[in-house]
Amino acid sequence: MNAPEIPPCFDARPLGRRRTRHRWTLAVLAAAVQFSYVSPAAAQATDATTAVHFLEQASFGPTALEVATVQAIGPPAWVQDQLTVPESPIPDGLDGTAVRAQVYLNMANGPDQLRQRAIFALSQTIVISANKVGGGPELTHWMRLLSRNAFGNFRTLLQDVSLSPTMGKYLDNVFNRRATSTTSPNENYARELLQLFSIGTWQLNNDGTQKVDGVGNPIPSYSQTTIAHFARALTGWTYAPLPGASHGNSNPENFLANLVPTSSASRHDTTAKTLLSGVITPAGLTAAGDLQWVLDNIFNHPNVPPFIATRLIRSLVTSNPSPEYVARVSAAFINNGAGVRGDLSAVFSAILLDPEALSPTAALHGRLKDPVLHVIGLGRALNAQIGDPGSFQNVFTNLSQRVLTPATVFSFYQPTAKIASNPSLFGPEFQLYPPALAVQRANFIYGILTNQYGSAFSVDMTPFRVVAGNPTALVDKVSATLMMGRMSPQLRQVILDATNAVPASDPNQRALGAVYLAAISSEYSVYTGGFTAGGVIPTDLQGPTGLYVAQVVGNIAMLRWNPPLLGPRPDGYILEGGLSAGQTMVAVPTGNQAPFFTVAAPNGSFYVRMRAYRGGAQSLPSNEVRLHINAALRPGAPTNVQGAIKGSALFLAWRNSYTGGTPDYLMLDVTGPATVSVPLPLSESWSLPGAPDGTWTFRLRAVNAAGASSQSGSVSVTAPSTTCALPRVPMNFTVNTGGNVVSLSWDTPSGGTPAAYYMLNVSGAFNGAFPITARNFASPAPPGTYNFSIRAVNACGVGPVTAYQTVTIP
């Protein structure tokens, strides 16, 4: 590669226009990049501390080369670049052990470090385990699925997961059938799809905090009845028939193709089901049709953005993200900037490029490294040769984290776990760091540094040994290698003392001791962003934030806010209010720690704010908001209007606003084929079972005695929905024979939704149906008469069948 191959600058071109052939110039010529061009990113050179911390979050650990790259081009360009790095492959034909080894090697050595880190995070959110699906084909299918979708759309990921034969086997949906006289549908996949993979058990705000009902209790996301209905909607699937085999209801295992509907449609429960958000599926849908309803219903649930954002932030950046950080990542999930919901590349970018990730200021920012991150990160920093892990995988088993082999569908640890010794903080990874395992992890690292694992993990200690005659130089070398020169003076002194106690005649032991102590220190095992916490953790009471009026009914108002993230926990809060900004006419203690308060207020318009109190101390006030009680003010317009067509049913949802007078009712303004205004009660959703055809635009106004608000933003939908349409019939289906060879060919359907694959049906001397992605097929056939037909299939289901073509082989 010559210098002119280096792009002249790194710009913000859209992904599709980036030329991937420049990709590896970055990794190989990182140093040259620093000198050979100046880009806007390079102009704001990233300091080493930020680069190291960024790479701890975005990769399996910084290396000298990657640090130099990030310093040169900056984190945004690095992320953009990584989004297009080709996936590290999982080769064909590996057995289960070899797949797990390959996954680990991709983590350690893959050039697609961000994708590998994303896969690791996703694999702990949407979980399978080699304990049940441990074969090569199972794991290969799964890892390719995660890798392919890591920067794709979450809706596609959910669909691929739901049709995955590996997941079908792991959570038992593969032969899930509708209720019989003695059995009910299998609820396993339905439950975990909702609880673990998408929305969780409690309704969430966009900032990840729990929604609460009128009396302050969290609100369940669904009930057991919901689970039963989802389980029914997910009936009627089986493995794809093996090539040449007939298609039935219980096909043998096949991990080379997605699940397919059973040959008998009656395995699927075709009755109507009530899904989330009150959505009811029409009766009579196929298994494939119902699946689309299920996935759309989940994907559009308001919990998905904060739920997934929180999981991924915890996995990559920090165990204790601020609600504001979660809200910013949720917003990227809801809209990637181009109006697309669920774009995971936007989500990962938002997570890693957020100020809270890049320049953390919170004293509790950071996370304990998982065993895999700790060990692989050490190897990358030491430029170790990391090879086939082979038998030393069992050490990871003892550390509770062998890749792709979690004990349960909850993965290696509960993502919501607090730290046992400090239950005010989240620290999920601490579940893998109880006392005995902390020592076991250190012992594993000692084994690595003493090269006990041969070619599986080979460390060259020479660079340390050659400077071991000078303890200061040795410790500087350790600091430069493991901590990019950021070792604290205190740790440095501790390691110096231990090094000085080893005779200079034993450079091996000096080098080993210095690296070992640094590698097992909490300065290395916990990444904290280089944030110097000493003296910065506030010891005085901090104020609440994010105050808003959640609801007003008559003279009763409900206020919500965020508790202070840092500092002492308040005993409670004080609501202050007055008639002008900053004025305090009344101060009402809430009496408890809940971050919401229902207050009866006289008629009028007030300025209110909250303070925290603890003992006799009070914090500074929160933001101030207006509270209008029965005020002769027009309401504020509803916000966040969203709409969707599902089949012929229309669904609208929005948020009411209390920034003005309290709304009494709403007016829905409809334009399109007809123009009409419909009064609605004060709610936050509306649906219409049969929406007339056409493109409709909806706006809302809130109304009270003082008048109507301005119109909300609009949402437009088109009925009938075109998002899920069956493919049309394949064209030009021809069957020819030559000797005993039957040749079939056909063309794509004319127009309509494209086919994902085709289903070839055979009857006569041979009976069967099997999927095929090509549009031609030739095979010798035994004598007999055969009838062939072909149907196109897509995510919505199976399209209409062609006319039969009959041939006879003499």
Residues 362-401 that bind other proteins (CB under 8 A): 363-364, 366-368, 398, 400
Residues 6+ away with beta carbon under 8 Å from 683? 666
Place of tokens 């699906």: 133
Q: Among 460-468, 491-499, 600-608, 783-791, which window interacts with other proteins (CB under 8 A)? A: 491-499
x/- track of binding to other proteins for residues 606-625 (CB under 8 A) = -------xxx----------
- The distance of closest approach from Cβ of residue 10 to other proteins in the complex, given in angstroms and rounded to an integer, is 34
Q: Among 2-10, 41-49, 289-297, 493-501, which window interacts with other proteins (CB under 8 A)? A: 493-501
- When asked if residue 517 is in the footprint of other proteins (CB under 8 A), the reply is yes
DSSP class of residue 36 equals H
- When asked if residue 425 is in the footprint of other proteins (CB under 8 A), the reply is yes
- When asked if residue 438 is in the footprint of other proteins (CB under 8 A), the reply is yes
Beta carbon nearer to other proteins, 340 or 537:
537
Beta carbon nearer to other proteins, 87 or 429:
429
x/- track of binding to other proteins for residues 526-555 (CB under 8 A) = x-x--xxxxxxx------------------
Instruction: Enumerate residues 764-783 that contact other proteins by CB under 8 A.
Output: none
Q: What is the SS3 string spanning 378-392? A: HHHHCCCEECCCHHH
- When asked if residue 423 is in the footprint of other proteins (CB under 8 A), the reply is yes
- When asked if residue 501 is in the footprint of other proteins (CB under 8 A), the reply is yes
Beta carbon nearer to other proteins, 3 or 533:
533
CA dihedral 473, 474, 475, 476 (to 10 degrees): 40
CA dihedral 152, 157, 158, 161 (to 10 degrees): 180
Residues 6+ away with beta carbon under 8 Å from 621? 543, 576, 609, 610, 611
Out of 36, 210, 431, 687, name the contact with other proteins by CB under 8 A: 431
- The distance of closest approach from Cβ of residue 445 to other proteins in the complex, given in angstroms and rounded to an integer, is 8
Q: Among 150-158, 586-594, 632-640, 786-794, which window interacts with other proteins (CB under 8 A)? A: 586-594
Out of 323, 389, 427, 660, name the contact with other proteins by CB under 8 A: 427
Using DSSP, how many helices (H) and how many strands (E) does the chain show?
25, 32
**CA distances to 64, 151, 336 from 339, in Å:** 38, 16, 6
- The distance of closest approach from Cβ of residue 600 to other proteins in the complex, given in angstroms and rounded to an integer, is 20
The sign one gets for the Cα dihedral 50, 56, 58, 59 is positive
Closest by Cα among 739, 807, 746 to 774: 746
DSSP class of residue 210 equals B
Closest by Cα among 300, 298, 273 to 287: 273
Instruction: Enumerate residues 561-580 that contact other proteins by CB under 8 A.
Output: 571-572
Instruction: Enumerate residues 170-229 that contact other proteins by CB under 8 A.
Output: 171-172, 175-177, 182-188, 191, 195, 201, 220, 224, 227
Beta carbon nearer to other proteins, 374 or 646:
374
CA gap 795, 290 in Å, rounded: 11
How many residues contact other proteins, by CB under 8 A?
A: 94
To 10 degrees, what angle do helices 188-195 and 287-299 make?
20
Out of 434, 604, 689, 800, name the contact with other proteins by CB under 8 A: 434
Closest by Cα among 214, 171, 211, 219 to 191: 171
Beta carbon nearer to other proteins, 570 or 730:
570
Q: Among 285-293, 478-486, 511-519, 799-807, which window interacts with other proteins (CB under 8 A)? A: 511-519
CA gap 97, 99 in Å, rounded: 5
- When asked if residue 591 is in the footprint of other proteins (CB under 8 A), the reply is yes
Q: Among 326-334, 384-392, 513-521, 543-551, which window interacts with other proteins (CB under 8 A)? A: 513-521
Out of 43, 215, 338, 436, name the contact with other proteins by CB under 8 A: 436
Closest by Cα among 298, 360, 269 to 154: 298
Instruction: Enumerate residues 106-145 that contact other proteins by CB under 8 A.
Output: 131
CA gap 789, 140 in Å, rounded: 32
- When asked if residue 418 is in the footprint of other proteins (CB under 8 A), the reply is yes
Residues 6+ away with beta carbon under 8 Å from 699? 641, 668, 669, 711, 712, 713, 714
- The distance of closest approach from Cβ of residue 502 to other proteins in the complex, given in angstroms and rounded to an integer, is 5
Instruction: Enumerate residues 306-335 that contact other proteins by CB under 8 A.
Output: 319
Residues 6+ away with beta carbon under 8 Å from 44? 74
